[in-house]
Amino acid sequence: MKGDNTHPRTRSLRNSNRKLSPEASVMHVKKEEDVSTGSPGPVSRSPKQAVKHEAKPDAGTKPRKKQRVKQEDPVAQQMVKLAAVSPTAYTGPFPKHMQPTPEACRAARDGLARLHGEPQHAKKVKPEPDAGGDNLHTHGQEQVLDSLVRTILSQNTTDITSHRAFASLKEAFPTWEEVLGAPSGKVEDSIRMGGLAEIKTERVKAILATLKQERGSISLEYIREMEDEELKAELTRFKGVGAKTVACVMMFCLARDEFPVDTHVWRISKKLGWVPGKANRDDTYRHMNIRVPADIRYDLHVLLVEHGKRCARCASNGKPRKESHGDCPLVNLEAGPTVKEMKEGDIVKDEDVIKKEENVIKKEDTG
Ligand SMILES: [Zn+2]
């Protein structure tokens, strides 16, 4: 996969012709990313009660441990996941927080696009030459089920390895029927390089089996006809499919106006004061999906993720994983009051919280 091998240092810093491929933007793929999967929210509240709770300005900012749902209660677990993924059911977790303004969002989008290149939209993307198999669709034409599995494989790994894992899976098992029929060990072997192969195989197979049993054929194309909320409910019922995974499928595959919040988007949103410094990722998702204008959600997501990998100021712990494209254009946007209140240590603390949550998830996953 490309992604890491582009953008030589010699390129002009503000080359507006630079294109940002959505492949590079499958930023949903990062280590800390799916920490929210299956965990957010209070255990026994109904969604309505949860609204009240979450609507308080500072609710939901405590470590999420408290709010975890026990695994043996799948119904409660799905309700919680659904609540996390349905921003329209809420007035938003930070009603008094007026950042980001539409103007700030557009300024960030434009500044980042000048630095990193205009994001390419899925439908214009050509197939990746190195992705393997004839059955691999481009993002724009991708089958919904492919997109979902691709996103599941991207959990807790880098974009590069997850793309390889997906290509390898498709090469070994060209159809979903074959994946379902194959021994788990063989499927695990095919996606081993993406990490957590056993867990991911189990989850994918469970989805395939459910679709086969319920609908007779292994496809998710039927959800294309669904409204956003119905679609979210349909997908979050599957184990291992949380708010971010659904948001990614909706944005990348279905071209819905979603704004997925991955670890980069989360971190930078806090840094810019777009959400309170202690906002957790699910609250950030709900808040940002209300505040970011619908027509730039895709661009801003893609650009923030790219930026989070390349900017020394905005990268996790100040250590970018990719080469810099130049000076940070977000500096002037740091006007939010919460930024001033934030101390250097806050971000570090957040990364610690991420790690803790990751461990919790792993325990849930494997236990
Ligand atoms: Zn930056």
Note every long-range contact of 174-182, with CB atoms under 8 Å and residues 24 or more positions apart, other chains counting: 174/133, 174/134, 174/135, 175/135, 176/145, 176/208, 176/218, 176/219, 177/218, 179/204, 179/205, 179/208, 180/205, 180/208, 180/209, 180/212, 180/218
Q: Is residue 3 a part of any domain in this protein?
A: no
pLDDT of residue 80: 63
pLDDT of residue 172: 96
In this structure, of 39-43, 165-169, 196-200, 324-328, the range with the lowest mean pLDDT score is: 39-43
Burial of 51 (0-12, 13-18, 19+ CB in 10 A): middle
Q: Is residue 216 a part of any domain in this protein?
A: yes
Q: Is residue 234 a part of any domain in this protein?
A: yes
Q: Is residue 70 a part of any domain in this protein?
A: yes
Percentage of the residues of the chain whose pLDDT score is greater than 70:
60
Q: Is residue 124 a part of any domain in this protein?
A: yes
Burial of 322 (0-12, 13-18, 19+ CB in 10 A): middle
More confident residue, 150 or 86: 150
* Entry pTM: 0.64
Given the residues 239, 244, 270, 309, the one annotated as active site = 244
Two tokens at 103? Answer: 């103007």
- Cα-to-centroid distance, 303 and ligand 1 (Å): 11
Mean pLDDT over all residues of the chain?
73
- Cα-to-centroid distance, 230 and ligand 1 (Å): 36
- Cα-to-centroid distance, 328 and ligand 1 (Å): 4
pLDDT of residue 309: 93
In this structure, of 13-17, 93-97, 197-201, the range with the lowest mean pLDDT score is: 13-17
Q: Is residue 335 a part of any domain in this protein?
A: yes
pLDDT of residue 82: 60
Residue 341 DSSP symbol: H
- Cα-to-centroid distance, 117 and ligand 1 (Å): 15
Whether pLDDT at 279 is above 70: yes
| H helix count then E strand count, the chain | 15, 2
Q: How confident is the model at residue 85 (pLDDT cuts 50, 70, 90)?
A: low
Provide the number of structural domains found in the chain. Answer: 1
Q: Span 104-118, mean pLDDT?
A: 95
Q: How many CA atoms lie within 13 A of 6 on its CB side?
A: 16
126 is catalytic: no
Q: How confident is the model at residue 158 (pLDDT cuts 50, 70, 90)?
A: confident
Whether pLDDT at 259 is above 60: yes
- Cα-to-centroid distance, 311 and ligand 1 (Å): 5
Q: Span 263-288, mean pLDDT?
A: 94
- Cα-to-centroid distance, 46 and ligand 1 (Å): 39
Percentage of the residues of the chain whose pLDDT score is greater than 90:
49
Q: Is residue 6 a part of any domain in this protein?
A: no
Residue 46's domain comprises 19-366
pLDDT of residue 37: 38
- Cα-to-centroid distance, 280 and ligand 1 (Å): 21
Q: What angle do CA 71, 259, 280 make, to 5 degrees?
A: 50
- Cα-to-centroid distance, 315 and ligand 1 (Å): 7
Q: Name the residues around ion ligand 1, CB cutoff 5 A.
A: 311, 313-314, 328, 330
Whether pLDDT at 91 is above 80: no
Q: How confident is the model at residue 161 (pLDDT cuts 50, 70, 90)?
A: confident
Give strand pairing partners of 19.
118
Q: Is residue 7 a part of any domain in this protein?
A: no
What is the C-alpha to C-alpha distance for residues 166 and 359, in angstroms, rounded to an integer? 24
pLDDT of residue 142: 84
pLDDT of residue 45: 36
- Cα-to-centroid distance, 314 and ligand 1 (Å): 4
